[in-house]
């Protein structure tokens, strides 16, 4: 597999951010990255599966960089502020999920992308967000929640 350095990945993300209007949709993101990857010497021999894996990794980095721009304070004292922050986090996750599904992402990738931003919420809220954002059934959403929780436990922080 052709590995890009962290600096190369960051440069690709900066090019995408500068080239596409906000908000960046998953489909536009993947199209531009495929074009950029074609221009990298030696990358033309990389399989489609490896390209998709790299593009999904870059999408997650892009997605997380957007979320880090809007920190949610965990120690808010008023219940209304907490409710508003929770509602905003869920709405953002659902929007991200719908955009990813519309862009052709898999349900597993979509659920994981959503879970990364709402994993601090109760299971019932995360499951409901999966149902609304990723188009999962209740049973499927529970399974994806469980799998995401397990993956998050294995992923180094």
Residues 20 and 49 occupy one common structural domain: yes
pLDDT (tens digit per residue) in 9-58: 888 888 888 888 878 888 888 888 888 888 777 777 778 788 888 888 88
Cα–Cα distance, 124 to 29 (Å, whole number):
31
Residues 122 and 57 occupy one common structural domain: no
Q: Give the CA-trace dihedral at 81, 83, 86, 88, to 10 degrees.
A: -70
DSSP state of 106: -
Confidence of residue 154 (pLDDT cuts 50, 70, 90): confident
In a domain, 1, yes or no: no
Confidence of residue 156 (pLDDT cuts 50, 70, 90): low
Query: What's the whole-model pTM score?
Result: 0.49
- Residues 156 and 104 sit within 8 Å (Cβ to Cβ): no
Handedness of CA 152, 113, 111, 47 (dihedral sign): negative
User: 98: which 2 tokens?
Assistant: 């719908």
Residues 87 and 45 occupy one common structural domain: no
Residues 91 and 124 occupy one common structural domain: yes
Q: How many domains does the chain have?
A: 2
């Amino acid at each position: 597999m052709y590995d890009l350095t962290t600096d190369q990945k960051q440069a690709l993300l900066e090019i995408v951010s500068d080239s596409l209007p906000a908000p960046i949709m998953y489909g536009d993101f993947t199209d531009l990255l495929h074009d950029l990857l074609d221009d990298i010497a030696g990358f033309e021999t990389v399989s489609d599966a490896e390209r998709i894996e790299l593009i999904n990794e870059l999408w997650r980095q892009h997605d997380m960089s957007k979320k880090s721009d809007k920190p949610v304070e965990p120690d808010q004292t008023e219940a209304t502020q907490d409710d508003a922050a929770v509602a905003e986090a869920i709405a953002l996750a659902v929007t991200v999920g719908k955009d990813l599904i519309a862009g052709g992402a898999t349900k597993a990738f979509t659920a994981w992308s959503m879970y990364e931003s709402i994993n601090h919420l109760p299971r019932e809220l995360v499951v409901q967000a999966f149902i609304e954002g990723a188009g999962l059934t209740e049973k499927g959403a529970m399974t994806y929640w469980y799998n995401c929780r397990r993956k998050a436990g294995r992923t180094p922080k």
